[in-house]
Amino acid sequence: MIGPAYWDLEPGVVRARAAEAVAGLTACRVCPRLCDVNRLDDRWSACKTGRYAVVSSCFPHFGEEDCLRGWNGSGTIFFAHCNLRCVFCQNYDISQAIRAGRSLAGATPEELAAMMLGLQREGCHNINLVTPEHVVPQVLEALAVAIDRGLNLPIVYNTSAYDSLESLALLDGIVDIYMPDFKYWSADRSGRYLAAPDYAEVARAAIREMHRQVGPLRVSADGLAVRGVLLRHLVMPGALDDTRLILNWVATELGPDTYVNLMDQYRPAGKVGSDRYRELNRRLTPRELAAARGIARELGVTRLDGRRASPVPSWQTAARDA
């Protein structure tokens, strides 16, 4: 049996890295936004998150890839206030909007650790950290507590790939499964739709580092992800040229054995209803998805994710995802 990566670290390493990361919050450069604000004083800028991480939801997720959800679910902790500004975000209300009067109080390390241990007691196969790019110090603080209290699940880092190399270095040997989403290749599209013209450049560097740390995805005999990179690409309307460039980079830089989920879940959401983004105000066509898969096969990227039916009723999955 392969245990979680952090079992192989010397005692005290996670706590020491947490202390180093938290100290850096005095002039925050946790993510590529490089805001330099003092988050220890509960100030915030792009990520709208002060001293403590804000958790939107925490539950066993049955909507993830089969190798993550298994039969008991992936233990998902969804952090609010993403560091990107995707105009099409399906979770816009928790990732970008701050409603008047909404509390910005976050979870302490002990509270976040308790969530992890609670998901472990529920039988989840892993701890799945969703949009953690801006809260790496807070995650490390909580992991130090949770590991001391008996956490023994692998860690999934579920990210947009808009991550700093400094944060990823602190996670080396702690994260088991990196799950980056490579959204766009074009700087123009990244600037227009993500408010991050440097997105693709940052994502390439981040994903290379993730792959250096954990390699291609390995799956156990019972079908569960053990360690490695699981790369997601949400196929976007009218952007098959970006899909080709991303998959070509995956094949040449990471290798054709990279596990890729070509996602067809895009639907208009967030700000897409406005005239400014009318080109995105439609669903993906079957022809576009078929073309994306054809591009992958042409480039030799054939280790593509496939789905079986969800082990829980669809209404229950929808309720958990709400």
- Tokens 């054709």 belong to residue: 256
- Which tens digit of pLDDT belongs to each residue from 12-64? 999 999 999 999 999 999 999 999 999 999 998 988 899 999 999 999 999 99
Residues with Cβ within 8 Å of residue 292, at least 6 apart in sequence: 235, 240, 243, 262
Looking at the predicted structure, is the pLDDT value of residue 80 above 70?
yes
To 10 degrees, the CA torsion angle through 47, 39, 181, 168?
160
Strand partners, 127: 75, 155
**Rounded Cα distance, 321 and 61, in Å:** 8
* CA distance to 163, 181, 185, 217, 230, per residue, from 277 (Å): 26, 21, 18, 36, 30
Average pLDDT for 195-206: 98
pTM here is 0.93
The Cα angle at residue 49 between residues 114 and 44, in degrees rounded to 5: 150
pLDDT of residue 320: 38
| Average pLDDT over the chain, rounded to an integer | 92
**Rounded Cα distance, 227 and 254, in Å:** 15
Give start and end residues of each alpha helix (H) in 96-164.
Answer: 109-121, 136-148
| pLDDT band of 72, cuts 50, 70, 90 | very high
Amino acid at 155: I
DSSP-derived pairing of the beta strands 55-61 and 74-79: antiparallel
| pLDDT band of 308, cuts 50, 70, 90 | low
Task: Decide if 299 contacts 252 (C-beta within 8 A).
Answer: no
pLDDT of residue 317: 39
Looking at the predicted structure, is the pLDDT value of residue 133 above 70?
yes
Looking at the predicted structure, is the pLDDT value of residue 2 above 80?
no
- The DSSP 8-state label assigned to residue 311 in this structure reads S
Give start and end residues of each alpha helix (H) in the chain.
Answer: 13-23, 66-69, 92-95, 109-121, 136-148, 165-171, 187-194, 199-214, 240-249, 286-299, 314-321
pLDDT of residue 300: 97
Among 3.10.20.90, 3.40.50.720, 3.40.50.2300, 3.20.20.70, name the CATH number for the domain at 5-321.
3.20.20.70
Among 49, 186, 303, residue whose Cα is nearest residue 39: 49
Looking at the predicted structure, is the pLDDT value of residue 94 above 90?
no
- Which tens digit of pLDDT belongs to each residue from 211-234? 999 999 999 999 999 999 999 999
Average pLDDT for 109-113: 98
Name the percent of the chain lying above pLDDT 90: 86
- What's the sign of the alpha-carbon dihedral 194, 246, 260, 288? positive
Among 176, 182, 188, residue whose Cα is nearest residue 253: 182
Half-sphere exposure of 126 (CA within 13 A, CB side): 31
- Which tens digit of pLDDT belongs to each residue from 145-180? 999 999 999 999 999 999 999 999 999 999 999 999
Lowest mean pLDDT of 38-47, 264-273, 308-317, name the range.
308-317
pLDDT of residue 306: 86
